[in-house]
Amino acid sequence: MANIRDVARLAKVSPATVSRILNDNQLYKTTDETRERVLRAVTELGYQPLARKHSLSPDPNAETRFSVGCLLATTRGKYSDPYYLSILGGIEEELARLGGTLSLIQTELELENPEVLDRVLHAGLSGLIMMRPLSEALFSQLHSLIPHIVGIDTGHMPIDNIEYDHLRVSRIAVEYLFSKGYRQIGYIGGSTGNAPLKKSRRFRSYLETMTDLGLEVRPEWVLNCEWDDQKCMRQIEETYQTTGLPAAFYAASDLMAMAALRALYQLGIPVPGKVAVIGMSNIEMSQYANPPLTTIDVPAAEMGITAARVITQRIRGDDTLPKRILLPSRLIERDSV
């Protein structure tokens, strides 16, 4: 059965644009051509908005519509990172079911534009879902004018946060490589914004797990690619040509793991014959990598769904103390290790 992400993919727009068109939201204008593409995709796929699917047993509060914004985290283009798009899709679908609308989507970079920030602050939002931490000044400004804010893995203390266990996923990855006989284990990743790599919880857990297992951490095998796939590939090649590569890499995102696979392929290095690679996030395309990528599954869509439920509860009167909700992760064994 088609969902809103399928419609967005076919129409070549974001899930938020699909939602705005189907809900006739006038806050942002769309062209007639875009509207026509979306409606054609809806018809072709037989998509039924979730709010309609549940009309036989409506939520008693569904008649009270509410509008939510989203601060999108990206490591590439605004709508090109499949991990964050999966979270966004979960938010979108659950809000629609609960009687809400995702009326605007911005990135932290876009909020640096005073006009965009002013538009967000005065959009009349009932709530905001944030996918990344902000400076305290910007967070306070948003929090002062938007009544309810829920974070996805932000760490901001005065609000609810939906998270996965960063420390545990790295430990799972390194211990799994160790169990398979690998002793030279490198790291590929980055940090949030301009923060140094040592601020990354996944990296700190990698260091701690390596120490616990009695393994050496060699600086030349720690690649801070800043979540840039092209930079990741260059660093793999440079390391190969200078110091040589470790027996295995733990890449703290599937996109970086897949960039590493491509770089190794171009260098003629077989995976996992010479170098093993394990990723983190289990994005859909990871199963189609060459070889299929061993990874740690993080329930991205479920984080979005949970965030939508929590912010709906807040909008409808929940005034309990802020929650920290930790969702589980698990190892997905494929062929890259």
Alpha carbon separation from 42 to 2, 24, 164, 301, 306 (Å, rounded) = 9, 15, 33, 21, 26
- Identify the pLDDT of residue 159: 95
pLDDT of residue 149: 97
Q: Is 280 exposed, middle or buried (0-12, 13-18, 19+ CB in 10 A)?
A: buried
User: Quick one: pLDDT at residue 53?
Assistant: 39
Encoded amino acid at 153, one letter:
D
Closest Cα to residue 166, out of 149, 182, 189, 150? 189
Q: Say what the pLDDT of residue 60 is.
A: 45
Main-chain phi, psi angles of 19, to 5 degrees: -60, -45
Q: Which residues of 219-228 are buried (b: 16+ CB within 10 A; e: fewer)?
A: eebbbbbebb
Do 1-48 and 166-297 fold alike per CATH?
Answer: no
Taking Cα atoms as reference points, which of 257, 323, 260 lies closest to residue 296? 257
Retrieve residue 289's tokens.
Answer: 């990598």
CB contact at 8 A, 291 and 274:
no
CA atoms lying within 13 Å on the CB side of residue 76: 14
Given a contact cutoff of 8 angstroms between Cβ atoms, the answer to whether 68 and 129 are in contact is yes
Q: Class for domain 1-48, per CATH?
A: mainly alpha
Q: What does the pLDDT read at residue 56?
A: 38
Pairwise CA distance, residues 72 & 105, whole Å:
7
Give the residue ranges of the chain where pLDDT is below 70: 1, 20, 23-29, 48-64, 75-76
For domain 166-297, give its CATH number from 3.50.50.60, 3.60.20.30, 3.30.9.10, 3.40.50.2300. Answer: 3.40.50.2300
Torsion angle (degrees, nearest 10) of CA 330, 333, 334, 336: 100
Amino acid at 173: A
Q: Where in the chain are the domains?
A: 1-48, 166-297
State if pTM tops 0.85.
Answer: no
